[in-house]
Amino acid sequence: MKIQINHVTKHFGSLTVLSDISLEVRQGDFLTVTGPGGCGKSTLLDLITGLLVPDGGEILIDGSPVRGPGLAPGVVFQQHALFPWRTALANVEFGLEPRDLRPRERAELARHYLDLVGMGAAGERYPHELSGGARRRIAIARSLAFDPGVLVVDEPFATLDSRTRQALREEMASIWERTGLTVVFATRSLDEAAYLGSRVAIMTSSPGRVVSVSERAVSLA
């Protein structure tokens, strides 16, 4: 799935939050968007997912304009909170519910996604029995189960301790390498953006603009 952001502008009242943003996300990109707090990263992500509507310009997904408000088809917004009353496996199965699968197929596929994030042994556990890092992995597995054309992730690791954060960064990089998923990932941390991104978009604030987009020269492998 490919996204074209063409001259997008967004205002909140008299505040211009995003000014003339143009950016492309190509199939298989891991695009990280970084910049200081308040520069408009979350707003940009909300425009891509269709949760907000731009005041100027347009966003095309595979050539079709995003017509918010409402999640654009194929776009999955990474949600971190698990359903506390469901086991890890049943949380991942939630992502498979839109598909017409038999219960057994659904459970098998959910196990596959749990394996993919290294949580194959935790299927019968409930969220309160798991660490913060384990819960994040299961939430990622649930997003992958939706089979996203683009996975949109907003500042996912900010509240975690540094060891867990590094482990999840490595996990995220490895999932991307193994699946070829298209990802748009916002983070305030330039280090995180540079570590994860196959392309890194750097923003400045007041108003939010993209000042540079760079490609990573060397692959993670």
Ligand X SMILES: Nc1ncnc2c1ncn2[C@@H]1O[C@H](COP(=O)(O)OP(=O)(O)OP(=O)(O)O)[C@@H](O)[C@H]1O
Closer residue to ligand X (CB): 48 or 116:
48
* Lookup: tokens for 3: 């996204």
In the complex, least distance from residue 125 CB atom to ligand X, rounded to whole angstroms: 31
What is the Cα–Cα distance from 66 to 55, expressed in whole angstroms?
13
Per CB under 6 A, the segment of 39-47, 53-61, 92-100, 109-117 that binds ligand X is 39-47
Closer residue to ligand X (CB): 35 or 95:
35
What is the Cα–Cα distance from 99 to 28, expressed in whole angstroms?
23
DSSP letters for 46-60: HHHHTSS--SEEEEE
Per CB under 6 A, the segment of 38-46, 56-64, 132-140, 189-197 that binds ligand X is 38-46
Q: Is 16 in the site for ligand X (CB under 6 A)?
A: no
In the complex, least distance from residue 13 CB atom to ligand X, rounded to whole angstroms: 7
Q: Is 39 in the site for ligand X (CB under 6 A)?
A: yes
CA distances (Å), 45 to each of 24, 59, 107, 140, 184, in order? 13, 11, 31, 17, 8
Identified binder of ligand X from the candidate list 9, 42, 164, 189, rule CB under 6 A:
42
Indicate the SS3 state at residue 152: strand
Indicate the SS3 state at residue 167: helix
DSSP letters for 180-192: ---EEEEES-HHH
Binding mask 133-172 for ligand X (x = CB under 6 A): ----------------------x-----------------
Q: Is 179 in the site for ligand X (CB under 6 A)?
A: no
List of residues contacting ligand X (CB under 6 A): 12, 15, 17, 37-43, 155, 188
